[in-house]
Structure formats: C-alpha cells, structure tokens
Chain A
C-alpha cells in the first residue's frame, strides 16, 4: 500500500514543484511510453556523440587556424576517400535508429486483442467518452474556473489540467481508443501513456494503451482547434480492475439515479430567478468564451447574443439552436450530444433571454426543463 501511494505520488508529481524545470519526458505509465523514452535517450546520445565529433575539430580549427596566430591557409578542396566515408557511416548510424523505431511503431499500431474499447470524441472544447461495451457515456471538460484564468492568477493545484469527470480505466488491461471529432481536428494526448492521436471529424482513428499501476495522468489537446484549444485538458484515472468494476457498477446506478433525478428535474418548475442564477454559471463556463460575458460576441467570428434575433425571437428557434447547434461552426449541439443537461439548457436559455438588452416578454422569457425534455422527445 505504501509503495503504491509513493508511486502515485510520484506520478502525480508533474503538477507540483517537484517537476518544475523538468528536462525530459514525463514519467511513463505504460510500456510504450517507457520504450519511447528509451528510444529518445538513445537518439539523443547519438546526436551528442556526432556533435562532439563534428564540432570538436571545428572549434579546434577556430582556435588554432586563426589568421591572428599567423596560420597560413592550406589549399586543399576535396578528398574523395573522406567524403565517401562521411556519406556512408551516417547511413549505418541511421539504420541503428530506424530498426528499434520500426519495432516500436508496429507495437504502437497493434490495436488488436483489446480488453476494453472507449470512443473518444473531440468537441469544441471538451472531450466526450463513451465506453462502447456498456454504453457509459459522459463529457469531460475543464474544471478550472474561468475567473481564475481571466484574472491571470492561477491558484488551482492542477490549473488548466483538471476536468469535471476524468476518463476512468482499469490497470493491466489493453484499452483501445477509437478517436473522432464532430467539428474540427483535435488531438487526444496524454504524455505518460505515450498516446497522441488526432481526432479527425468523420473518421475513426485508433490507438491503445495499457497502464501498469494506478494513478492519475494528465494531458491536453494537441491540435489547434480554435479559441478553446488551450482549455480542453484530458485526465485519465487508472484504477485496479476490481475498483474499476465497482466504478462501472456505480455508473450504472448513477445513470439510473440521474435519469430519476432528471425526471424529477424535468418535472420541477423553477422560478425565473432560480433559472437565471443557474444559467449565469452555465453561460460563464460554456458560452462566454465565444459569445463573451457581455453577450456582445466577437464581430465576424462569433455572433452577439445581446439583441440577437434568435435570442429575442420564438423560443422554439432559440431552443433548437442550443439543442442542435449550428453545423460548420463552433456552436455545438449541446442537447443532442448531451453536453448540457435539460435543466442547464433551460437555465442558460432563460438567462440569455433576460440579460443585457434582451427582455423577452412573458411567457416567452422562461424556458422550463420540461420544455427542453419535450423538445428532445420531439426530435
């Protein structure tokens, strides 16, 4: 137990002072990541050796063959033998690097015989995970409060590298990822696992990993995907298979409970103020990066909500835009993709319809969770 704790501590370390000024790849958590580090070290030593062999003579010449010391220039300008030699020797050095690299590529690409398949979907700007074997599915998004980022004073222990719900995987099992996206290209990257896979909209790309020991591993989206690119981290929590099984059961229970409470929530009738205060929070985390806290948007890039015809128009159209998104833009299908709950959608729509210069006349100014549920059922 002690050992495991110590190990976990070590693996968690990158976020703390311990690993500041880190000079190398993060501590590996999979065999592949370990092999990558070994390969990198090998290549780096070769480079270092060549550097000495090439620049030793160069600096010697710069020191000894200066005009200032009275050195007279020689006149030679080629030497067939040495030229052939320094063309051929590098080829052998390259082969010594290419061989282990090829082995490792084949291992990394071998996604067969997996124990568990998880579908990873990139959205602007969160990750969605779906356990294909049992249908557990959730969105994972940045947990660092917006105010901390905009305030310019990071305080969280895992600033920008923390999420509301991590991806949970069992240790010792081969986890296959099928990676895709619904809008632009993202890239799912966790350094400690040795996995970086671009998420290409409309295509499935595969990757795999097998975590040795329990721990929490952090990564980030690695492909520029718009204004939220720096704000869609990845957190993977690896636990022993027994605990993972327990977690899974819990998820099923939670799903059942969630559907019950969703039912309850859907039936609940909230007041305008309740909806608005909840909607303000949802807006700040989900909508404000594009549409701005003032609702003014960014002209030419993201439309304003303040005074928007959609927001001030028929409730149906507003609901449709939030629920189904707008294809070809960063506007997600927040309802259809289950990024936001019915309750959150109702709250944020109500907030938008009653904020800034928007004053939609009653009763069109209030959207209840039940309205969203009805809309969803109608889809």
Chain B
C-alpha cells in the first residue's frame, strides 16, 4: 500500500470560508459533516416529539394534549426520525467513509452531492413549518394511509411535496454512492475485496434508487386524489384504499433494509476491530446482505395481513418473510464467530455494537413472531409492533449510528472523545432503551392498540414504566450531544490510528484526513478481502 498519509491537501483555487463554504462545498467530508449535523438536529427534534407522546401516555386520561395534536405527534415523530434522522445519518457516514475506504479522491459527483444534502433542509422546512399551518401537521400516521390522508388539511400537501424533495435527494445521493463505488475504487480493490461497510452501502443505494420513485408515485396519487378528482384510492371510482398500502409497502419494506443494512455494515466494521480478528465469513456476509435486499422486494404484504388479502397471499408473504430470517441469522452467527477466540476490549463503539447484536436479535425474533400470520392478526397495529420496530430501528439503526460516531469521530476530528462520557452515554441509552420498549411487547400482547392518545387502566403500569424509560433515554441523548461537541472542540490527539485492531484504508490517513484525501489513488495489493491483512 502506498504511503498516502503523506499526501498533502491540494488547493483547487480558493475555497470560500464561513457559511458560503458549507453552502457551496463540493467536498465529501464537508457534506458528510452537514448530513450528520442535520440528522442529529432532526433526531433531537423528533425525539422531543417522542417525549411529548410519552408524557401524554404517562397515565390514562387526557392530560396534556387533545387527540388531534397527539396524532400529529405520532405521525411526525415517525416521519422526522425516518426521513430526517436515520436516513441522512447513514448517508453522512457514506459520504465520509466510502471515498476513504475505497481510496477515492471524493464522491463521483461532488456538486450533485451538495445538492443531495441541501435538498434536505428544504424538505425539513416544509415538514417542520407544517406544525404551524391551520389544522396542524400530518396526523394520519407516517404510513399516510388514505382515505384518512385525503381528509387532512394543507399540511398534508406540504408533506407530499416534502416526500418528493426527500425522494429526489435520496435518489441523487444513491446514484452518487453507487457510481463512486463502481467506478472510483483504488486499483486492485476488486468488489470482493471491498470493506463490508462499502458493500452494505452499495446494496442500500441500489434499494433507494429502486423504491424511492415508487413512493414518489404513490404520494403523487394521493395528491391527485386530494385535489384533482382522481379515484386511485376510492372504491366508488374502481380504486382501492388498499392499493396505496401495496404501493407504500413496496417502498416501505425495502426502506426498512435501507435503514438497517448500513447499520450491519457499521457493526461488521467495528466488531472485528475490537475483537482484533478478521470478520468471520466475509463472503457469506456479502451474499447475506444481497439476499436480504432481494427478498425485501417480495415481503411487503406482511404489513397488510389484516387488510383481508386472500389466504394464498398471506401464506406466500409469510413464507418469504420467514426466509429473511435465514440470511439475517447468518449475519448474527458470523458476528458471534468473529468474537469467538478474539482478543476483545470494550471501548464505547464496541459496547454499542455488542448491544446492537443482542437487541437487534430481539427485534429480529419479534419480527419472526409477527411473520406468523395468525399471531400477526393478534399483534398487528398494537404496541408489540411498536416494540418490534424500535428494537430494530433504535437498537439497530440509531445505536449503530452512535457507535459509528464514536468509532470514527477520532478520525474525523483528530481528537479522542471522552471515553468516560461515552461509556456513561452507552449504559444510560442501553438500559433506558430496554425500560422503554421491552414493556411494550407486553402491552401489545395484552391488547393495547398503537397510535391511541388514551388507554384503558389495565395498561397503566407498563405505560408508566415506558414513559419513565423514555424520559431517561431522551435526556441521555443530550449527553451524547455534549460529548460530540466536546470531541469536536478538542481532546487528546487521536493519532492516525487510535484503534489497534482497525484495518481499513481510512486509518492510513492522518486524523483529520487531508481535505482531498486520495488525489493519487493508492495501489491495493490484497489477497483477501479488505481488513483481512
């Protein structure tokens, strides 16, 4: 491998400073930073909405909010977390890491990359300001089902256009990532030698390009039904409200994997580092990710088992859904085998990743339970589902983002984060998360529907427990914010490679890396996949 740490930043004319730098930047690191800060802000905003939800649900009876506002809270919490926090955070990781890990000078389309980011604040304007328009924000759930969605006010149109803009951002971002990975790898880095994080993002980007346009089409149909007299989702004109659900979940299920595959990539990167042992089963990991992605296109109707689809469809989608457990299991088994006979240490990123392996698996198990149609009939649209997708999306996606931040922050800033604060943040998050969401399994089993502003008294105890957990969980994230800011502003110098067991290409660069990292592509001579030196 060439000595690229010596590469100096090259100047391409003058770079503007101040705000103009961030508005006009074509640098993948700047843009990655923008994505990550944007997602952190959205994470805190959407988290604040969750705090309000849990406050209302602290005990039975309506204490703080009328149902109309409560429904806005649940819908906007979901939409902002998914489109504002989780997805942009992973794109931020892709921006920072993909060029560094494949030895590319930048993303393939640097200007387009800037646009992909700056579309997000435009969409966020539409979404956040919708709280203040007459009628308030969208209150029909993040799934936007008609005909309820058709009944809504002006905010519902704002959300449709926000989704269009977000979709454009995702598609352009994904095309950029795919092209970067396919065309800008350093000489010698064949596809099967790419770091696993890059693999997971290649497949994620492919999913994005495939499904975001379908969502754009579906919300366009909503707009037409709302204002232009079409009957896509209206039985009297030959349409069907359930058709929206098919279109939505054709997007929505791959979307779930869009939010979890990069998390798999982060886990598969961090675990070997702190086990000081190569990732077990690299090839089967790649195949597992690919088969999850392919299967994700044929499982969508498992979100619709109670809509009255025929028995044949229920059985087909149950089988395909169960099949996803096989490649997912392979990944978990590989992770455990990676740990086996390693030389393990427990820095903050490792703690997060170990928690993810356990908690994501719990989410996987509840997913398996939900795949069984007769059981799903009891659990669909209950708190069991809420528990399930928070185990997958908070413990899987959001915690992998946190782990990834702690892992790469030294590289990005040149400073070590405060290990003591990091560990405190981890333990608070992991414990409070379980206090919040584990009881929800029982609530769902006992028969509490989701998205209700008030509930019968027999659900009171677990709800109170969940609310207390949620408040601690929310407060802990302020500690995260503090720890990140502290690290950005200063700290112990990280050195080029703070992690003994790290093997990927970015650790050969200085910390922080030069503004243009690999202006000369490094020559890669590897026998095995990257990280298997």
Contact = CB atoms under 8 A, between A and B. Distances in A.
Is there a direct interface between A and B, measured as CB atoms under 8 Å apart in the complex?
Answer: yes
Contacts of B478: none
B521 interface: no
A104 interface: yes
Nearest to B155: A300
A136 interface: no
Interface string A271-286: 0000000000000000
Contacts of A105: 311, 314-315, 318, 373-374
B456 A159 contact: yes
A228 interface: yes
Interface string A190-206: 01001111101111011
Contacts of B139: 226-227, 301
Contact of A78 (B236, B276, B281, B453): B281
Interface stretch (A2-10, A13-21, A239-247, A337-345): A13-21
Contact of A203 (B240, B334, B341, B381): B240
Nearest to B150: A328
A220 B449 contact: yes
A253 to B, nearest CB: 34
Nearest to B242: A200
Interface in B324-349: 325-326, 329-330, 332-334, 336-337, 339-345
Contacts of A87: 284, 326, 329-330
Contacts of A300: 133-136, 153-155
Contact of A197 (B277, B308, B311): B308
Nearest to A63: B344
Interface stretch (A64-72, A305-313, A348-356, A358-366): A64-72
Interface stretch (B84-92, B109-117, B357-365, B415-423): B357-365
B485 interface: no
A8 B325 CA distance: 41
A25 interface: yes
Contact of B340 (A61, A97, A223): A61
A87 B322 CA distance: 13
B2 to A, nearest CB: 25
A225 interface: yes
A182 B247 CA distance: 23
Contacts of A202: 234-236, 240-241
Interface in A216-235: 219-231
A135 interface: no
Given A91-B326, A98-B319, A152-B61, A106 B455 contact: no
Contact of A77 (B61, B308, B532): B532
A198 B458 contact: no
Interface stretch (A32-40, A259-267, A317-325): A32-40
A66 B377 CA distance: 45
A98 B374 CA distance: 11
B311 A61 contact: no
A307 to B, nearest CB: 16
Contact of A183 (B66, B147, B358, B445): B147
A379 interface: no
Contacts of B427: none
A83 interface: yes
B230 interface: no
A234 B147 CA distance: 22
A54 to B, nearest CB: 6
Contacts of B151: 184, 226, 328-330
Contacts of A79: 281, 337
Question: Interface range on chain A: under 10, 10 to 19, 20 to 34, or 35 or more?
Answer: 35 or more
A62 B342 CA distance: 9
Nearest to B274: A67
Question: Interface range on chain B: under 10, 10 to 19, 20 to 34, or 35 or more?
Answer: 35 or more
B514 interface: no
Contact of B63 (A19, A57, A152, A191): A152
Interface in B444-459: 445-447, 449, 451-458
Q: Which of B339, B375, B381 has the most CB of A within 10 A?
A: B375
B281 A149 contact: no
A94 B365 CA distance: 12
A294 to B, nearest CB: 12
B236 to A, nearest CB: 6
Contact of A61 (B342, B373, B446, B447): B342
A21 to B, nearest CB: 5
A134 B311 CA distance: 30
Contacts of A36: 374-375, 377-378
Contact of A47 (B71, B283, B368): B368
Given A72-B343, A87-B330, A21 B461 contact: yes
B495 interface: no
Contact of A20 (B154, B377, B458, B528): B458
Interface of A: 14-16, 19-26, 32-33, 35-36, 39-40, 43-44, 47, 50-51, 54-55, 57-58, 61-62, 65-68, 71-79, 82-83, 86-87, 90-91, 94, 97-98, 101-102, 104-106, 108-109, 148-154, 158-161, 179, 183-185, 187, 189, 191, 194-198, 200-203, 205-206, 219-231, 289, 298-301, 328-330
21 contacts: A14-B458, A19-B458, A22-B442, A23-B446, A62-B339, A67-B276, A67-B344, A82-B337, A98-B318, A101-B372, A102-B315, A148-B61, A152-B61, A159-B457, A160-B456, A194-B374, A200-B308, A226-B139, A227-B139, A289-B67, A328-B150
Q: What are the 3 closest A-B residue pairs judged by CB atoms, nearest first?
A: A202-B235, A300-B135, A300-B134
Given A22-B445, A67-B276, A67-B345, 5 more contacts: A24-B442, A61-B339, A97-B322, A223-B145, A300-B154
Interface of B: 59-63, 66-68, 71, 133-136, 139-141, 145-148, 150-155, 234-236, 240-242, 275-284, 306-308, 310-311, 314-315, 318-319, 322-323, 325-326, 329-330, 332-334, 336-337, 339-345, 354, 357-358, 361, 365, 368-369, 372-375, 377-378, 380-382, 442, 445-447, 449, 451-458, 460-462, 528, 532
